[in-house]
Structure 1
């Protein structure tokens, strides 16, 4: 099993997108490590250590290489929050997690957190207010909605995962849930902050919606392949490989290979879209940049995986 799981994903997964990194990466590493040390310091030492191992600044720098320093700083804070939100709150159950979701949505709508509240809530408030200064009102409304879908996905995942006797969803059930809890809708939104904000009537066009869905599946499924060992240890259900294995009643090796094939098929679908962009009038160049930004993000995530210690075991860190 270990031999299969640790296959070289950069060889197995199609990646026709360029590899680039922001020139601001070193500054952001210093800045983000300072945030973690100072602003997350009230959380447990083990949680702070996990956040340090993440190397979120490198993730942001790989995925948004063309972002200005101010935009990339806010995006980096948002990425760190997403990991913290998922790792800290997702294992909660039922009403307890619903209360967190409700509070986060209050913050998203402009409520200022109390000084004694969890630093994860404070971090959310900081970058939401920063985005208000960067983006348009329509973009913010869309982003708040996409945040709500992400939090809903965490709640659904929590009702299935983090238990020894997992009742896995089917593949068809898994896909829409995973599209929510992977938060790629919010990532697509943030790509627009770099490539150009699209008006709502363009965003709802079937072509853009399909591009957003495909990019979301590519993020979710690459993450599932990358994090398989970690998620097996953590008793998580929302992993494509484990869902395939449960539904097909096959070996983990065969499930892994099928997940790789599904990923590569999605890449081909995405490239078909990219090579056949319809006429969006004056927004055609912006749409093209948006899809290019999605490609950079997908490639950047795979490249960041080689740098982060998030998914490595203690033996691999020696």
Structure 2
């Protein structure tokens, strides 16, 4: 099925920029894939070579320095591979991945037992070079939030059964795995916000809107690839529940997206007084705006992931679903 959504309809009042270190980090990605992810099927590795992971991070985090961008790319590649590899895994397998990976990222005294978890050991060291322990705790909570979403997806994806809209939004906010990126947008400011500000209702709504906007953008771009194969996509949800045409579903999804963008813009321009953290909060929210705009820029110019089935590895991975036991390595 060909893409029928006009990507130019996605408009943002946010600036667009690119990170000057993006090409340098992108050049490292191939080496990481060969050195740390040799368990992947050869066709899948080639697709990740053309995903543009470094360019994605460069577009979405233009203000990160070289060390921050390297850590962000390490997380991106890990997250892409976990999400794609275990999209069709069982609940038990997801719990095993979570139980093995989170203690490593939290800094517990455990040895990583897989290529995936060894990367998390390196990632923690890199992140702690510019973030605080309280920030890391929030980052880990949001990654656990993601694993919860993946587990919640399983029965709907397995049976191709559409959930209610309330359930869909709850699942999507978790499984889209944007909350950890929101944390990273805070960390690269160089100042970790105290929990009472990070969890302020306005800040929480802005974080949630960022997740919704990026998830909706992704759904608009990928609905034509997922139709008939998945149900956890806003466009396909609307088409099914409203019993409307795909074109009408695209239009309604775009309206939902635009409403969220407007709400985020309003909140950004009417923030409470955060005292000595006001400047940091403003920089953080600007990073979120750059992230949203940069995601679209990356998908339009630098990746094949959302353009055709030939750019996304899910087909190969579904045909030869990776199991946790295949990822064992000696470290």
Instruction: Provide TM-score, normalisation by structure 2.
Output: 0.88
CA deviation map 1:221-270 (0-9, x unaligned): 1011112123236x222211111112112111111111011001111001
Unaligned runs of 5+ in 1: none
Secondary structure of residue in 1 paired with 2:16: coil
**Alignment map for 1:1-318 (pairs within 5 Å):** 2=2, 5-9=3-7, 11-110=8-107, 111-114=110-113, 117=114, 119-161=115-157, 163=158, 165-195=159-189, 196-232=191-227, 235-306=229-300, 307-313=302-308
Contact 1:25/1:58 (CA < 8 Å) preserved in 2? yes
- Distance in 2 of aligned mates of 1:113 and 1:58: 28
- 1:83-139 CA-to-partner distances (Å, cap 9, x unmatched) read 11100012111222221222122322333213xx2x223223321232133211100
Q: CA deviation at 1:74?
A: 0.3
1:183 and 1:249 mapped to 2: Cα distance? 29
Q: 1:33 to 1:263 in 2, by over 3 A?
A: same
Q: CA deviation at 1:77?
A: 0.8
Number of residue pairs matched by the alignment: 308
**Cα offset for 1:48?**
0.8
What runs of 5+ residues in structure 2 fail to find an aligned partner?
A: 313-331
Distance 1:287 1:141 in 2: 19
Aligned-residue RMSD, C-alpha:
1.8
Name the CA distance, whole Å, in 1 between partners of 2:134 and 2:310. 48
Alpha-carbon spacing, 1:78–1:315, altered in 2? closer, same or farther (3 Å): closer
In structure 2, how many angstroms separate the alpha carbons of the residues matched to 1:241 and 1:112? 42
Q: Does structure 1 retain, via aligned residues, the 8 Å contact 2:71–2:126?
A: yes
| Cα displacement (A) at 1:142 | 0.8
Higher relative contact order (CA 8 A, sep 6+): 2
TM-score normalised per structure 1: 0.92
Report the CA distance between 1:42 and its aligned residue: 2.6
